[in-house]
Amino acid sequence: MSTGRVVPDRLLTTHLARTLFSAQRESRTGVLTVDEGPVQTKLHIVDGRVIFAERGTLAETLGRLLVRQGTMDRDEYALVLEHMAKPSERDEIMRFGEVAIQLGMLTASELGAALGLQVRMKLQHCLQLDEAVWMWVDDEAPRRTAPFPVPLEPAVRSALREDPQAYRWAGLLVAKRRMTVRLAGAPDALGRRFGVSPEELRLLKHADGRPLATVLQSGILQPEETGALIAALLFGDGLTLVEPVPSEIPPARPPRAPSQSSPHHRAQEAAERLRLEMERRGKAMPDPQRGRLDAERAFEAGRKLLRHGNVEGAQAKLAEAVALLPEAAEYVLYLRWCAYLTDTDPMRKVVHEQQLRDAVLEGLRQDRKMAFAHYVQGRLFLIDEDETAARKAFAIAVHLDRSDLEATRYLRLLDQRKG
């Protein structure tokens, strides 16, 4: 067993991609558990390749992914959940796929493609973390399921490029701007390995043998795109940065005692949680699938009631879902929204509004693509009389969920008012 941590101010040396590429080089087999605080992700790796991923947030469940893709709608999703009510020994993911296929909502090829995309999305989420603790455990049979291997190099390149904070890579690399870029192979071969675009390939051909500062300022790509590409190849041994000889070695600073609120202290706490979890490995643990499935059914029922204007009925179902799965930020957000809508007392309304703001932030922290969180955020911006921010929030909500009629209505109203 080995452990490590991703540190925000040392991402170039501690990023999770380095751990994954190390496992790939050594053809290791095992489970890499990534702890980001309230949520853990387990990456199942065979011969150095990620073949499956488990993550404890509802945003990445197979059914929700299919709804987000438009492969099935919310009503079809709820119907599949109802048919899954019968107890089964099958894995929840495979059970969902089987029921969806039996109901004619999904083909076997669509299921396979969705499962592969699901693994890739969970892996890319881990690759976008700037603070986490990881634990590696060797395991000859880490996952008894059909494998969905994800090529690591393209996944790292996409994760870094699509990261909302992609701009940070250029900033981190500026400190190494005087170093020279040395490609580890022919640009075309590296381009195929990392799945780069034609413009990115042009940058690679330009970069070899040049100072990093020249590459970052080349103008071939946007600075954040250049930084993300250089970082991806640096992690995957696609290039090296040749350091200049220092003229003088500065004296080492004495180490500071870790603050109780420092990343180091939080990392130690997360490492301890992982250690305790691993001590429990092998012991009989209750299967959480049934409670989670019941919670999702209650949530979908509440969501449907809310959509049809039955706020009180929705509130009861949503409270049931939250009781079964209190860590689900989306459930809590919907419940807070119902409480805000139904309470007419001015003093309590202020309290509900603040709780709603907190729930929105937590929802977006768990899932940046939670359409309902963006919609509620838009409504809150209207309360603050910030129509520009509200319009942006409603536009994001509509982009993420075309069936959101309320977000669409508010977006049109703001556009009409502006026009």
Q: 315, 302 in Cβ contact below 8 A?
A: yes
- Give the lowest-confidence range in 60-74, 304-318, 378-392: 60-74
C-alpha span between 106 and 96 (Å, rounded): 10
Q: Cβ(186)–Cβ(143) under 8 Å?
A: no
Mean pLDDT to the nearest integer, 95-124? 86
- Distance separating the N- and C-terminal Cα atoms of the chain: 62
**Least confident stretch, 82-86, 336-340, 349-353, 407-411:** 82-86
- Tell me the pLDDT band of 340, cut-offs 50, 70 and 90: very high
Residue 119 CB burial class (10 angstroms; 0-12, 13-18, ≥19): buried
So what's the pLDDT on residue 181? 95
pTM of the model as a whole? 0.66
Bigger pLDDT: 83 vs 193: 193
State the pLDDT at residue 280.
54
Whole-Å CA distances, 294 to 76, 95, 98, 301, 387: 17, 14, 18, 11, 39
Report residue 284's pLDDT band, with 50, 70 and 90 as the boundaries: very low
Does the pLDDT at position 147 exceed 50?
A: yes
Share of the chain above pLDDT 70, in %: 83
Question: Sign of torsion, CA 271 275 278 284?
Answer: negative
Range name among 69-78, 239-248, 328-337, 340-349 with the lowest pLDDT average: 239-248
Residue 306 reports pLDDT greater than 50: yes
Residue 241 β-bridge partners: 181
Q: Does the pLDDT of residue 264 top 60, yes or no?
A: no
Does 349 or 135 have the greater pLDDT score? Answer: 135
Q: Which domains does the chain have, with CATH numbers?
A: 2-150 (no CATH), 154-242 (no CATH), 289-418 (1.25.40.10)
> Predicted confidence band at 286 (pLDDT cuts at 50, 70, 90)?
very low
Q: Look at residue 365 in the predicted model and tell me its pLDDT.
A: 82
pLDDT digits (tens, 9 = 90+) for 184-204: 999 999 999 999 999 999 999
| pLDDT band per the 50, 70, 90 thresholds, residue 285 | very low
pLDDT in tens, 10-46: 999 999 999 999 999 999 999 999 998 778 899 999 9
